[in-house]
Amino acid sequence: MDRREYYMQRCLDLAVLGMGTVSPNPMVGAVVVYQDTIIGEGYTSPYGGPHAEVNAVQSVVTKYGTEKANQLLADSTIYVSLEPCAHFGKTPPCADMLIAYGLPKVVIGCSDPFSKVNGLGIAKLRSAGIEVVTGVLEDKCQYINRRFFTQINKSRPYVVLKWAETDDGYFAPADKAQHWISNAASKQLVHKWRSEEDAILVGKNTALIDNPSLTNRCWTGKSPKRILIDKNLDVPADYYLLDQSIETIVFNAVKSEWNQNLKYIEMENFDLYLPQNILYQLYLMDVQSIIIEGGAKTLQMFIDAGLWDEARVFESKESWGTGVISPKIGGVLDRKLQVSDDQLLIYYPIH
Protein backbone atom coordinates (compact mmCIF):
# COMPACT_ATOMS: atom_id res chain seq x y z
CA MET A 1 0.00 0.00 0.00
CA ASP A 2 1.49 3.34 -1.04
CA ARG A 3 1.24 6.42 1.13
CA ARG A 4 -1.76 7.86 -0.70
CA GLU A 5 -3.68 4.62 -0.16
CA TYR A 6 -2.56 4.52 3.47
CA TYR A 7 -4.01 7.96 4.17
CA MET A 8 -7.17 7.20 2.21
CA GLN A 9 -7.66 4.00 4.21
CA ARG A 10 -7.46 6.13 7.34
CA CYS A 11 -10.22 8.30 5.85
CA LEU A 12 -12.37 5.18 5.40
CA ASP A 13 -11.66 4.01 8.95
CA LEU A 14 -12.87 7.39 10.19
CA ALA A 15 -15.86 7.55 7.85
CA VAL A 16 -17.54 4.42 9.23
CA LEU A 17 -17.57 6.00 12.70
CA GLY A 18 -20.53 7.98 11.38
CA MET A 19 -22.52 4.82 10.64
CA GLY A 20 -26.13 5.21 11.73
CA THR A 21 -25.93 8.95 12.46
CA VAL A 22 -25.20 10.83 9.22
CA SER A 23 -28.03 9.62 6.95
CA PRO A 24 -29.25 10.88 4.54
CA ASN A 25 -25.75 12.32 4.13
CA PRO A 26 -22.90 10.01 3.09
CA MET A 27 -20.26 8.74 5.52
CA VAL A 28 -17.02 10.64 4.88
CA GLY A 29 -13.60 10.72 6.52
CA ALA A 30 -10.79 13.26 6.06
CA VAL A 31 -7.16 13.57 7.18
CA VAL A 32 -4.78 16.54 6.92
CA VAL A 33 -1.18 15.56 6.14
CA TYR A 34 1.81 17.85 6.64
CA GLN A 35 5.25 16.58 5.62
CA ASP A 36 4.07 12.97 5.68
CA THR A 37 2.50 13.29 9.15
CA ILE A 38 -1.19 13.38 9.98
CA ILE A 39 -1.83 16.63 11.86
CA GLY A 40 -5.63 16.58 11.78
CA GLU A 41 -8.53 14.28 11.06
CA GLY A 42 -12.31 14.12 11.22
CA TYR A 43 -15.46 12.45 9.98
CA THR A 44 -18.94 13.68 9.17
CA SER A 45 -20.96 14.75 12.20
CA PRO A 46 -24.51 13.55 12.80
CA TYR A 47 -26.93 14.89 10.17
CA GLY A 48 -27.04 18.67 10.14
CA GLY A 49 -23.56 19.06 11.65
CA PRO A 50 -20.17 19.83 10.09
CA HIS A 51 -18.79 17.60 7.36
CA ALA A 52 -15.57 15.59 7.56
CA GLU A 53 -13.35 18.21 5.91
CA VAL A 54 -14.50 20.91 8.33
CA ASN A 55 -13.91 18.68 11.34
CA ALA A 56 -10.45 17.67 10.09
CA VAL A 57 -9.35 21.27 9.48
CA GLN A 58 -10.87 22.42 12.76
CA SER A 59 -8.91 19.72 14.61
CA VAL A 60 -5.71 21.33 13.29
CA VAL A 61 -6.87 24.77 14.47
CA THR A 62 -7.79 23.38 17.89
CA LYS A 63 -4.45 21.60 18.27
CA TYR A 64 -2.09 24.33 17.00
CA GLY A 65 -3.98 27.58 17.33
CA THR A 66 -5.22 29.76 14.48
CA GLU A 67 -1.94 31.37 13.39
CA LYS A 68 0.16 28.18 13.39
CA ALA A 69 -2.68 26.16 11.85
CA ASN A 70 -2.98 28.62 8.96
CA GLN A 71 0.74 28.21 8.26
CA LEU A 72 0.55 24.42 8.38
CA LEU A 73 -2.60 24.16 6.26
CA ALA A 74 -1.08 26.34 3.55
CA ASP A 75 1.55 23.63 3.05
CA SER A 76 -0.59 20.52 3.69
CA THR A 77 -2.57 17.96 1.71
CA ILE A 78 -6.07 16.94 2.74
CA TYR A 79 -7.30 13.46 1.92
CA VAL A 80 -11.07 12.95 1.78
CA SER A 81 -12.99 9.81 0.89
CA LEU A 82 -15.73 11.64 -1.07
CA GLU A 83 -15.67 14.73 -3.27
CA PRO A 84 -16.09 17.91 -1.17
CA CYS A 85 -19.51 19.49 -1.54
CA ALA A 86 -19.89 22.63 -3.66
CA HIS A 87 -23.36 23.77 -2.59
CA PHE A 88 -25.12 25.25 0.43
CA GLY A 89 -27.15 22.61 2.27
CA LYS A 90 -27.36 22.26 6.04
CA THR A 91 -23.79 23.61 6.06
CA PRO A 92 -21.70 25.85 3.74
CA PRO A 93 -19.72 24.27 0.86
CA CYS A 94 -16.64 22.35 2.02
CA ALA A 95 -14.84 23.22 -1.23
CA ASP A 96 -15.10 26.91 -0.35
CA MET A 97 -13.67 26.25 3.11
CA LEU A 98 -10.65 24.38 1.68
CA ILE A 99 -10.03 27.23 -0.77
CA ALA A 100 -10.26 29.81 2.02
CA TYR A 101 -7.62 28.00 4.08
CA GLY A 102 -5.32 27.80 1.06
CA LEU A 103 -4.64 24.09 1.09
CA PRO A 104 -2.54 23.43 -2.02
CA LYS A 105 -3.57 19.81 -2.66
CA VAL A 106 -6.70 17.69 -2.22
CA VAL A 107 -6.75 13.90 -2.71
CA ILE A 108 -10.24 12.46 -3.25
CA GLY A 109 -11.37 8.84 -3.06
CA CYS A 110 -14.43 9.06 -5.33
CA SER A 111 -16.75 11.63 -6.83
CA ASP A 112 -20.15 12.45 -5.34
CA PRO A 113 -23.11 11.37 -7.54
CA PHE A 114 -25.45 13.98 -6.02
CA SER A 115 -26.41 16.39 -8.81
CA LYS A 116 -25.49 19.50 -6.80
CA VAL A 117 -21.97 18.15 -6.21
CA ASN A 118 -21.10 15.68 -8.99
CA GLY A 119 -17.83 17.04 -10.38
CA LEU A 120 -18.61 20.59 -9.24
CA GLY A 121 -16.56 20.33 -6.05
CA ILE A 122 -13.55 19.11 -8.00
CA ALA A 123 -14.00 21.83 -10.63
CA LYS A 124 -14.27 24.55 -7.98
CA LEU A 125 -11.06 23.40 -6.28
CA ARG A 126 -9.14 23.24 -9.55
CA SER A 127 -10.38 26.64 -10.69
CA ALA A 128 -8.92 28.04 -7.46
CA GLY A 129 -5.51 26.63 -8.39
CA ILE A 130 -5.60 23.65 -6.03
CA GLU A 131 -4.05 20.39 -7.22
CA VAL A 132 -6.71 17.67 -7.15
CA VAL A 133 -6.01 13.93 -7.32
CA THR A 134 -8.98 11.56 -7.67
CA GLY A 135 -9.68 7.82 -7.65
CA VAL A 136 -7.52 6.70 -4.71
CA LEU A 137 -9.09 3.49 -3.31
CA GLU A 138 -12.12 4.44 -5.38
CA ASP A 139 -13.88 1.05 -5.15
CA LYS A 140 -13.58 0.99 -1.35
CA CYS A 141 -14.79 4.57 -1.08
CA GLN A 142 -17.84 3.78 -3.19
CA TYR A 143 -18.55 0.57 -1.26
CA ILE A 144 -18.78 2.14 2.19
CA ASN A 145 -21.31 4.62 0.77
CA ARG A 146 -23.30 2.03 -1.17
CA ARG A 147 -26.42 3.13 0.72
CA PHE A 148 -25.97 6.76 -0.31
CA PHE A 149 -25.10 5.82 -3.90
CA THR A 150 -28.17 3.57 -4.17
CA GLN A 151 -30.45 6.30 -2.87
CA ILE A 152 -29.07 8.83 -5.37
CA ASN A 153 -28.74 6.56 -8.40
CA LYS A 154 -31.82 4.31 -7.99
CA SER A 155 -34.26 6.60 -6.13
CA ARG A 156 -34.86 4.01 -3.43
CA PRO A 157 -33.27 2.89 -0.16
CA TYR A 158 -30.48 0.34 -0.03
CA VAL A 159 -32.20 -2.96 0.81
CA VAL A 160 -30.68 -5.50 3.20
CA LEU A 161 -32.51 -8.82 3.52
CA LYS A 162 -32.02 -10.72 6.75
CA TRP A 163 -33.30 -14.06 7.99
CA ALA A 164 -32.31 -17.20 9.89
CA GLU A 165 -32.82 -20.74 8.65
CA THR A 166 -32.17 -24.26 9.83
CA ASP A 167 -29.44 -26.44 8.42
CA ASP A 168 -32.03 -28.16 6.23
CA GLY A 169 -33.46 -24.88 4.88
CA TYR A 170 -36.53 -24.11 7.01
CA PHE A 171 -37.52 -20.59 8.00
CA ALA A 172 -40.27 -21.17 10.57
CA PRO A 173 -42.27 -24.05 12.09
CA ALA A 174 -45.15 -25.42 10.01
CA ASP A 175 -47.65 -24.46 12.73
CA LYS A 176 -46.41 -20.82 12.54
CA ALA A 177 -45.46 -20.86 16.22
CA GLN A 178 -42.68 -18.56 17.36
CA HIS A 179 -39.35 -20.37 17.44
CA TRP A 180 -35.89 -18.77 17.69
CA ILE A 181 -33.44 -20.35 15.23
CA SER A 182 -30.17 -18.44 15.58
CA ASN A 183 -28.02 -18.06 18.71
CA ALA A 184 -27.60 -15.19 21.19
CA ALA A 185 -24.46 -13.83 19.47
CA SER A 186 -26.32 -13.64 16.16
CA LYS A 187 -29.19 -11.83 17.87
CA GLN A 188 -26.81 -9.20 19.26
CA LEU A 189 -25.21 -8.77 15.84
CA VAL A 190 -28.65 -8.19 14.30
CA HIS A 191 -29.33 -5.46 16.85
CA LYS A 192 -26.02 -3.82 15.93
CA TRP A 193 -27.14 -3.88 12.28
CA ARG A 194 -30.41 -2.22 13.23
CA SER A 195 -28.49 0.70 14.74
CA GLU A 196 -26.69 1.16 11.40
CA GLU A 197 -29.72 1.38 9.11
CA ASP A 198 -32.54 3.90 8.75
CA ALA A 199 -35.50 1.51 8.82
CA ILE A 200 -36.60 -2.06 9.42
CA LEU A 201 -39.58 -3.78 7.78
CA VAL A 202 -41.81 -6.77 8.55
CA GLY A 203 -45.10 -8.04 7.20
CA LYS A 204 -48.37 -8.52 9.05
CA ASN A 205 -47.93 -12.23 9.74
CA THR A 206 -44.57 -11.73 11.44
CA ALA A 207 -46.08 -8.95 13.55
CA LEU A 208 -49.02 -11.14 14.61
CA ILE A 209 -46.95 -14.24 15.39
CA ASP A 210 -43.89 -12.66 17.05
CA ASN A 211 -45.24 -9.33 18.36
CA PRO A 212 -41.73 -7.87 17.83
CA SER A 213 -40.54 -4.48 19.05
CA LEU A 214 -37.86 -4.24 16.31
CA THR A 215 -35.58 -2.13 18.50
CA ASN A 216 -31.85 -2.51 18.98
CA ARG A 217 -32.17 -3.07 22.72
CA CYS A 218 -29.16 -5.45 22.71
CA TRP A 219 -26.89 -2.75 21.29
CA THR A 220 -26.29 1.00 21.55
CA GLY A 221 -27.39 3.89 19.36
CA LYS A 222 -30.72 4.75 17.77
CA SER A 223 -33.35 2.22 16.80
CA PRO A 224 -34.46 2.32 13.16
CA LYS A 225 -37.82 3.54 11.91
CA ARG A 226 -40.27 0.61 11.97
CA ILE A 227 -42.12 -0.27 8.77
CA LEU A 228 -45.14 -2.58 8.79
CA ILE A 229 -47.04 -3.96 5.80
CA ASP A 230 -50.61 -4.50 7.04
CA LYS A 231 -53.15 -4.30 4.23
CA ASN A 232 -56.32 -4.44 6.34
CA LEU A 233 -54.88 -3.13 9.63
CA ASP A 234 -55.13 -6.50 11.37
CA VAL A 235 -52.33 -5.91 13.90
CA PRO A 236 -53.90 -5.02 17.28
CA ALA A 237 -53.30 -1.54 18.64
CA ASP A 238 -51.68 -2.90 21.82
CA TYR A 239 -48.85 -4.67 19.94
CA TYR A 240 -45.31 -3.35 20.43
CA LEU A 241 -45.00 -2.12 16.84
CA LEU A 242 -47.79 0.38 17.40
CA ASP A 243 -46.71 1.66 20.83
CA GLN A 244 -45.47 5.04 19.47
CA SER A 245 -42.06 4.64 21.14
CA ILE A 246 -40.35 4.86 17.74
CA GLU A 247 -41.47 6.36 14.44
CA THR A 248 -43.53 3.65 12.75
CA ILE A 249 -44.97 3.66 9.24
CA VAL A 250 -47.84 1.32 8.39
CA PHE A 251 -48.46 0.71 4.68
CA ASN A 252 -52.07 -0.33 4.25
CA ALA A 253 -55.16 -0.22 2.00
CA VAL A 254 -57.50 1.49 4.50
CA LYS A 255 -56.39 4.96 5.55
CA SER A 256 -53.77 7.69 5.60
CA GLU A 257 -53.38 9.19 9.04
CA TRP A 258 -50.49 10.63 11.04
CA ASN A 259 -50.63 10.47 14.82
CA GLN A 260 -47.32 11.58 16.37
CA ASN A 261 -44.91 8.65 15.84
CA LEU A 262 -47.50 6.44 14.14
CA LYS A 263 -48.02 7.10 10.44
CA TYR A 264 -50.52 5.20 8.29
CA ILE A 265 -49.97 5.46 4.55
CA GLU A 266 -52.74 4.15 2.31
CA MET A 267 -51.49 2.55 -0.90
CA GLU A 268 -53.75 2.72 -3.94
CA ASN A 269 -53.93 -0.59 -5.85
CA PHE A 270 -52.26 -2.15 -2.84
CA ASP A 271 -51.26 -5.45 -4.46
CA LEU A 272 -49.85 -3.86 -7.61
CA TYR A 273 -46.08 -3.23 -7.52
CA LEU A 274 -46.18 -3.14 -3.73
CA PRO A 275 -42.41 -3.42 -3.04
CA GLN A 276 -41.62 -0.78 -5.64
CA ASN A 277 -44.20 1.62 -4.23
CA ILE A 278 -43.08 1.09 -0.64
CA LEU A 279 -39.45 1.77 -1.48
CA TYR A 280 -40.30 4.87 -3.47
CA GLN A 281 -42.42 6.26 -0.63
CA LEU A 282 -39.53 5.65 1.77
CA TYR A 283 -37.12 7.32 -0.65
CA LEU A 284 -39.35 10.41 -0.62
CA MET A 285 -39.13 10.32 3.18
CA ASP A 286 -35.28 10.37 3.05
CA VAL A 287 -34.92 6.76 4.18
CA GLN A 288 -31.50 5.77 2.85
CA SER A 289 -31.42 2.10 3.93
CA ILE A 290 -33.75 -0.60 5.18
CA ILE A 291 -33.47 -4.09 6.68
CA ILE A 292 -36.26 -6.46 5.67
CA GLU A 293 -36.69 -9.10 8.38
CA GLY A 294 -39.71 -11.04 7.26
CA GLY A 295 -41.62 -13.15 7.08
CA ALA A 296 -40.78 -15.52 4.29
CA LYS A 297 -43.52 -14.20 1.99
CA THR A 298 -42.46 -10.60 2.47
CA LEU A 299 -38.80 -11.39 1.86
CA GLN A 300 -39.61 -13.40 -1.26
CA MET A 301 -41.74 -10.53 -2.59
CA PHE A 302 -38.73 -8.20 -2.60
CA ILE A 303 -36.46 -10.93 -4.00
CA ASP A 304 -38.86 -11.68 -6.85
CA ALA A 305 -39.07 -7.96 -7.65
CA GLY A 306 -35.28 -7.77 -7.85
CA LEU A 307 -35.30 -5.11 -5.14
CA TRP A 308 -32.48 -6.10 -2.84
CA ASP A 309 -28.82 -5.18 -2.54
CA GLU A 310 -27.47 -7.49 0.15
CA ALA A 311 -28.72 -10.59 1.98
CA ARG A 312 -27.50 -11.75 5.39
CA VAL A 313 -28.60 -15.28 6.19
CA PHE A 314 -27.91 -17.05 9.47
CA GLU A 315 -27.71 -20.82 9.16
CA SER A 316 -28.05 -22.76 12.40
CA LYS A 317 -27.09 -26.35 13.17
CA GLU A 318 -30.72 -27.26 13.86
CA SER A 319 -32.56 -29.58 11.46
CA TRP A 320 -36.37 -29.73 11.54
CA GLY A 321 -37.34 -31.95 8.63
CA THR A 322 -40.46 -29.90 8.05
CA GLY A 323 -41.70 -26.31 8.24
CA VAL A 324 -41.92 -23.13 6.19
CA ILE A 325 -39.30 -23.17 3.43
CA SER A 326 -36.74 -20.35 3.52
CA PRO A 327 -36.73 -17.70 0.78
CA LYS A 328 -34.83 -18.53 -2.41
CA ILE A 329 -32.25 -15.85 -2.98
CA GLY A 330 -30.57 -16.69 -6.30
CA GLY A 331 -27.67 -14.30 -5.64
CA VAL A 332 -23.91 -14.69 -5.42
CA LEU A 333 -22.54 -16.02 -2.12
CA ASP A 334 -19.80 -13.52 -1.26
CA ARG A 335 -18.52 -14.94 2.01
CA LYS A 336 -19.25 -17.10 5.05
CA LEU A 337 -18.59 -15.98 8.61
CA GLN A 338 -18.78 -17.91 11.86
CA VAL A 339 -20.96 -16.37 14.59
CA SER A 340 -20.57 -18.70 17.56
CA ASP A 341 -22.16 -21.95 16.29
CA ASP A 342 -24.15 -20.19 13.52
CA GLN A 343 -22.87 -19.53 10.03
CA LEU A 344 -23.54 -16.13 8.50
CA LEU A 345 -23.85 -16.18 4.70
CA ILE A 346 -23.56 -12.88 2.80
CA TYR A 347 -25.12 -12.69 -0.68
CA TYR A 348 -25.16 -9.99 -3.35
CA PRO A 349 -27.31 -9.85 -6.50
CA ILE A 350 -26.03 -11.16 -9.80
CA HIS A 351 -25.20 -8.24 -12.09
Give the range of the structural domain holding residue 8, as residue numbers without chain letter.
3-150
99, 181: one domain: no
pLDDT > 80? residue 118: no
Asked if 286 and 157 count as a contact pair (C-beta separation under 8 A), the reply is no
Residues 233, 259: one domain?
yes
pLDDT-derived band at 178, boundaries 50, 70, 90: confident
- 281 and 222 within one domain: yes
Pick the last residue of a domain from 119, 150, 181. Answer: 150
How many folded domains does the chain comprise? 2
Cα distances (Å, whole numbers) of residue 328 to 2, 180, 323: 42, 20, 15
Which residues sit in the known binding site for substrate?
Answer: 194, 206, 214, 217, 293
pLDDT at 104: 97
182 and 252 belong to one structural domain:
yes
Q: Could you tell me if 107 and 4 are in contact, meaning their C-beta atoms sit under 8 angstroms apart?
A: yes
Give the pLDDT confidence of 225-270 residue by residue, as tens digits. 999 999 999 999 999 999 999 999 999 999 999 999 999 999 999 9
- From 150, 172, 204, the end of a domain falls on 150
Q: How confident is the model at residue 116 (pLDDT cuts 50, 70, 90)?
A: low
At residue 123, the pLDDT reads 92
- Determine the average pLDDT of the residues in 199-224: 94
Annotated binding site for Zn(2+): 51, 85, 94
Report pLDDT digits (tens) over 88-104. Answer: 566 678 999 999 999 99
At 147 the pLDDT is 97
Catalytic residues: 53
How many Å apart are CA 237 and CA 224, to the nearest integer? Answer: 20
List residues forming the annotated binding site. 51, 85, 94, 164, 180, 194, 206, 210, 214, 217, 293
CATH of the domain at 46: 3.40.140.10
Q: What is the mean pLDDT of residues 30-58?
A: 96
State yes or no: pLDDT of 115 exceeds 70: no
Q: Among 108, 96, 187, which residue's Cα sits nearest to residue 142? A: 108
- pLDDT given at position 180: 79
Across the range 139-151, mean pLDDT stands at 96
Q: From the centroid of its chain, how far is CA 291?
A: 9
Domain co-membership, 48 together with 110: yes
Q: Last residue of some domain: 122, 150, 178?
A: 150
| 219 and 133 housed in the same domain | no
Least confident range from 86-95, 222-231, 333-342: namely 86-95
Average pLDDT of the chain is 94
Is residue 323 predicted with pLDDT exceeding 80? yes
pLDDT at 1: 67
Other CB atoms within 10 Å distance of the CB of residue 66: 10
Question: Are 109 and 63 within one domain?
Answer: yes
Above pLDDT 70, what percent of the chain?
A: 97
